[in-house]
Amino acid sequence: MLDFLFTSDAIMALLTLTFLEIILGIDNIVFISIAANKLPQNERGKATNIGLLLAMLQRIVLLFFVSFLISLKQPFYSINLNWLYIGVSWQSIILFIGGLFLIYKSTSEIREKVEAPMHDENQLSKKKIKSLSQAIIQIVMIDFIFSIDSILTAVGMTNGLHENHNYNLVLMIIAVVISIGIMIGFAGPIRKFIDTHPSIQLLGLAFLILIGFMLITEAAHLSETTIFGNTVGPIPKGYLYFAIAFSLFVEFLSFRINKKKQ
């Protein structure tokens, strides 16, 4: 286990996944802050921390469930046409649907942030919260919505790293725990940085589109899909790491240029 966690692939996946989890968690922090700020001053911090800890436990439970489904590799149905073959398994179904969901969710989020950036915040602000328990329930419900793309991102980044799914599951759990811990400790500064540089969050959503396409091709590869005699192969994760690193490097250069101009 330790040998796997210290391999270059596992370290790159952990760093990239933790970064994406934090970027994706910004909206979560915003909505949690709105819910918590409806409480008296002395209960806001408590509601936020309890809510985030319960959110972490919720994500870990969901990771166990999704990881179990992905471990079901045996095809239970096959599509065999003259020009197409697909061996359908639960693993390929989860990855395919997950990829479609990430692409849809990411494009929808990008459109909403461009056209109506305050819509969801305004909707949540109208809801009444009178007690600590109500705030915590609201926070857990909010996080459940945001957990889906977070978990699918974790699956996309770790799937195929190791043939033993338990190893990949441990890596996903570590990334979730680290990201939630950072959000608890540095929620304010992270939110301020993203507010100052909103393109970072848009980049994170754009990365999800790449991960979504990667999940779809991974599903096709694992189901041994053959189209006109050509077998679909996997996309090496190194391409994804390079795209993310290159995009962040360009964003860093843009940040430095704008800072010098100011």
The answer to whether residue 222 is domain-embedded is: yes
Please name the amino acid found at residue 223.
S
pLDDT of res. 1:
60
Q: How many domains does the chain have?
A: 1
* Domain around 28: 2-72+85-257
Residue pair 139/48 in contact by the 8 Å Cβ criterion: yes
Query: Is 79 within a domain?
Result: no
What Å distances lie between residue 49 and 34, 160, 184, CA to CA? Answer: 14, 34, 6
Residue 77 within a domain: no
Say if 99 falls within a structural domain.
yes
Q: What is the dihedral of CA 90, 220, 153, 93, to 10 degrees?
A: -20
pTM of the predicted model as reported, rounded to 2 decimal places: 0.74
Pick from 121, 116, 133: nearest CA to 47: 133
Whether residue 80 lies inside any domain: the answer is no
Given a cut of 80, is residue 78 above it in pLDDT?
yes
With respect to residue 66, please indicate whether it lies within any of the assigned structural domains: yes
Residue 173 lies in a domain: yes
As a whole-number percent, the residues of the chain with pLDDT over 90 amount to: 0
Return mean pLDDT, the chain: 79
User: Is the predicted pLDDT of residue 202 greater than 60, yes or no?
Assistant: yes
Task: Assess if residue 117 is contained within a domain.
Answer: yes
Buried b (16+ CB within 10 A) or exposed e, 186-218: ebeebbeebeeeeebbbbbbbbbbbbbbbbbbb
Q: Which tens digit of pLDDT belongs to each residue from 140-157? A: 777 776 677 778 888 877
